Amino acid sequence: MSKKILVLSTSPRKGGNSEALADEFVRGAQEAGHSVDKITLYDKTIGFCKGCLSCQNTRRCVIRDDADAIAQAMLTADVIAFATPIYYFGMCGQMKTLLDRANPLYGTEYRFRDIYLLTAAAEEDAHTPDGTVTGLQGWISCFEKARLAGSVFAGGVTSVGDIKGHPALTQAYELGKHV
Protein backbone atom coordinates (compact mmCIF):
# COMPACT_ATOMS: atom_id res chain seq x y z
CA MET A 1 0.00 0.00 0.00
CA SER A 2 1.50 3.30 -1.12
CA LYS A 3 1.87 5.95 1.56
CA LYS A 4 2.12 9.73 1.34
CA ILE A 5 5.45 10.59 2.93
CA LEU A 6 6.70 14.03 3.91
CA VAL A 7 10.42 14.48 4.54
CA LEU A 8 11.40 17.68 6.34
CA SER A 9 15.07 18.53 6.04
CA THR A 10 15.53 21.14 8.76
CA SER A 11 19.22 21.95 8.42
CA PRO A 12 20.17 25.57 7.81
CA ARG A 13 22.90 24.25 5.46
CA LYS A 14 22.10 23.33 1.87
CA GLY A 15 23.46 19.88 1.03
CA GLY A 16 24.50 19.17 4.61
CA ASN A 17 24.99 15.78 6.20
CA SER A 18 21.47 15.47 7.63
CA GLU A 19 20.08 16.41 4.22
CA ALA A 20 22.11 13.55 2.71
CA LEU A 21 20.34 11.22 5.16
CA ALA A 22 17.00 12.73 4.10
CA ASP A 23 17.83 12.13 0.44
CA GLU A 24 18.64 8.48 1.09
CA PHE A 25 15.40 8.03 3.04
CA VAL A 26 13.54 9.60 0.09
CA ARG A 27 15.31 7.30 -2.38
CA GLY A 28 14.38 4.20 -0.37
CA ALA A 29 10.76 5.27 0.06
CA GLN A 30 10.37 6.11 -3.63
CA GLU A 31 11.89 2.78 -4.67
CA ALA A 32 9.34 1.07 -2.41
CA GLY A 33 6.57 2.81 -4.38
CA HIS A 34 5.59 5.55 -1.96
CA SER A 35 4.71 9.13 -2.87
CA VAL A 36 7.36 11.38 -1.30
CA ASP A 37 7.58 15.14 -0.89
CA LYS A 38 10.72 16.71 0.56
CA ILE A 39 10.73 20.18 2.03
CA THR A 40 13.96 21.92 3.01
CA LEU A 41 13.96 24.69 5.58
CA TYR A 42 17.20 26.43 4.54
CA ASP A 43 15.27 28.33 1.88
CA LYS A 44 12.13 29.02 3.91
CA THR A 45 11.03 31.90 6.11
CA ILE A 46 9.71 30.62 9.42
CA GLY A 47 9.12 33.00 12.29
CA PHE A 48 8.85 32.12 15.95
CA CYS A 49 5.50 31.12 17.44
CA LYS A 50 3.88 34.07 19.25
CA GLY A 51 2.04 31.83 21.72
CA CYS A 52 -1.30 33.50 20.91
CA LEU A 53 -3.08 30.13 20.50
CA SER A 54 -5.37 31.56 17.80
CA CYS A 55 -4.53 28.45 15.78
CA GLN A 56 -6.46 26.32 18.24
CA ASN A 57 -9.65 27.96 16.98
CA THR A 58 -8.79 28.64 13.34
CA ARG A 59 -6.47 25.63 12.67
CA ARG A 60 -4.17 28.05 10.87
CA CYS A 61 -1.36 30.24 12.13
CA VAL A 62 -1.82 34.01 12.21
CA ILE A 63 1.77 34.43 10.98
CA ARG A 64 1.83 34.42 7.19
CA ASP A 65 5.08 32.72 6.27
CA ASP A 66 6.23 29.32 5.02
CA ALA A 67 5.40 27.45 8.26
CA ASP A 68 1.66 27.54 7.58
CA ALA A 69 1.98 25.66 4.27
CA ILE A 70 4.42 23.18 5.82
CA ALA A 71 2.00 22.47 8.70
CA GLN A 72 -0.77 21.85 6.16
CA ALA A 73 1.50 19.39 4.33
CA MET A 74 2.21 17.66 7.66
CA LEU A 75 -1.53 17.36 8.32
CA THR A 76 -2.14 15.24 5.22
CA ALA A 77 0.99 13.07 5.30
CA ASP A 78 0.77 9.41 6.36
CA VAL A 79 4.42 9.45 7.42
CA ILE A 80 6.73 12.30 8.43
CA ALA A 81 10.51 12.05 8.53
CA PHE A 82 12.52 14.83 10.18
CA ALA A 83 16.19 15.27 9.31
CA THR A 84 18.28 17.53 11.54
CA PRO A 85 21.85 18.23 12.45
CA ILE A 86 22.47 17.91 16.16
CA TYR A 87 23.62 21.16 17.74
CA TYR A 88 24.59 21.13 21.43
CA PHE A 89 23.07 17.64 21.76
CA GLY A 90 19.64 18.78 20.55
CA MET A 91 17.75 19.37 17.33
CA CYS A 92 18.63 22.47 15.33
CA GLY A 93 16.67 25.62 16.12
CA GLN A 94 14.95 25.54 12.74
CA MET A 95 13.40 22.16 13.54
CA LYS A 96 12.27 23.26 17.00
CA THR A 97 10.74 26.43 15.57
CA LEU A 98 8.87 24.35 12.97
CA LEU A 99 7.55 21.97 15.64
CA ASP A 100 6.29 24.96 17.63
CA ARG A 101 4.66 26.41 14.52
CA ALA A 102 2.92 23.08 13.82
CA ASN A 103 0.63 23.86 16.77
CA PRO A 104 -2.40 24.28 14.44
CA LEU A 105 -2.27 20.49 13.96
CA TYR A 106 -3.04 19.83 17.62
CA GLY A 107 -6.62 18.63 17.99
CA THR A 108 -7.10 17.98 14.25
CA GLU A 109 -7.73 14.79 12.33
CA TYR A 110 -4.09 14.53 11.26
CA ARG A 111 -3.16 11.54 9.07
CA PHE A 112 0.41 10.88 10.19
CA ARG A 113 1.07 7.84 12.33
CA ASP A 114 4.74 6.99 11.87
CA ILE A 115 7.43 9.57 12.53
CA TYR A 116 11.09 9.02 11.66
CA LEU A 117 14.17 10.91 12.80
CA LEU A 118 17.42 11.25 10.83
CA THR A 119 20.29 12.96 12.64
CA ALA A 120 23.91 13.89 11.99
CA ALA A 121 26.50 15.31 14.37
CA ALA A 122 30.20 15.95 14.82
CA GLU A 123 30.09 13.89 18.01
CA GLU A 124 30.28 10.13 17.61
CA ASP A 125 28.96 8.83 20.94
CA ALA A 126 25.87 6.64 20.54
CA HIS A 127 24.01 8.82 23.09
CA THR A 128 24.56 12.01 21.07
CA PRO A 129 21.02 11.98 19.57
CA ASP A 130 19.27 11.32 22.92
CA GLY A 131 18.33 14.98 23.48
CA THR A 132 16.97 15.28 19.96
CA VAL A 133 14.94 12.10 20.35
CA THR A 134 13.56 13.38 23.66
CA GLY A 135 12.61 16.73 22.10
CA LEU A 136 10.84 15.12 19.15
CA GLN A 137 9.17 12.57 21.41
CA GLY A 138 7.70 15.46 23.41
CA TRP A 139 6.05 16.75 20.24
CA ILE A 140 4.90 13.27 19.18
CA SER A 141 3.37 12.69 22.62
CA CYS A 142 0.86 15.46 21.85
CA PHE A 143 -0.44 13.38 18.92
CA GLU A 144 -1.75 10.17 20.49
CA LYS A 145 -2.10 8.28 17.19
CA ALA A 146 1.53 8.97 16.22
CA ARG A 147 4.72 7.19 17.26
CA LEU A 148 8.44 7.41 16.72
CA ALA A 149 8.83 4.52 14.29
CA GLY A 150 12.58 4.66 13.74
CA SER A 151 15.73 6.75 13.75
CA VAL A 152 19.17 6.89 12.22
CA PHE A 153 22.25 8.65 13.59
CA ALA A 154 25.40 9.56 11.68
CA GLY A 155 28.16 10.54 14.08
CA GLY A 156 31.57 11.96 13.29
CA VAL A 157 30.38 14.22 10.46
CA THR A 158 30.99 17.96 10.60
CA SER A 159 31.64 19.58 7.23
CA VAL A 160 29.32 19.26 4.24
CA GLY A 161 30.11 15.96 2.54
CA ASP A 162 31.76 14.30 5.55
CA ILE A 163 28.93 11.77 5.52
CA LYS A 164 30.01 10.26 2.20
CA GLY A 165 30.40 6.51 2.68
CA HIS A 166 28.96 6.60 6.23
CA PRO A 167 26.94 3.47 7.12
CA ALA A 168 24.06 5.69 8.31
CA LEU A 169 23.31 6.52 4.66
CA THR A 170 22.47 2.86 4.00
CA GLN A 171 20.44 2.73 7.21
CA ALA A 172 18.43 5.81 6.13
CA TYR A 173 17.82 4.24 2.72
CA GLU A 174 16.64 0.99 4.32
CA LEU A 175 14.41 2.86 6.76
CA GLY A 176 12.77 4.67 3.85
CA LYS A 177 12.41 1.46 1.88
CA HIS A 178 10.62 -0.29 4.77
CA VAL A 179 8.24 2.49 5.85
Which residue segments constitute the domains of the chain, with CATH numbers given? 4-177 (3.40.50.360)
Degrees, nearest 5: CA angle 6-3-46: 15
Degrees, nearest 5: CA angle 86-99-164: 30
Report if pTM > 0.85: yes
For residues 75-90, give the mean pLDDT. 97
pLDDT band at 46 (very low <50, low <70, confident <90, very high): very high
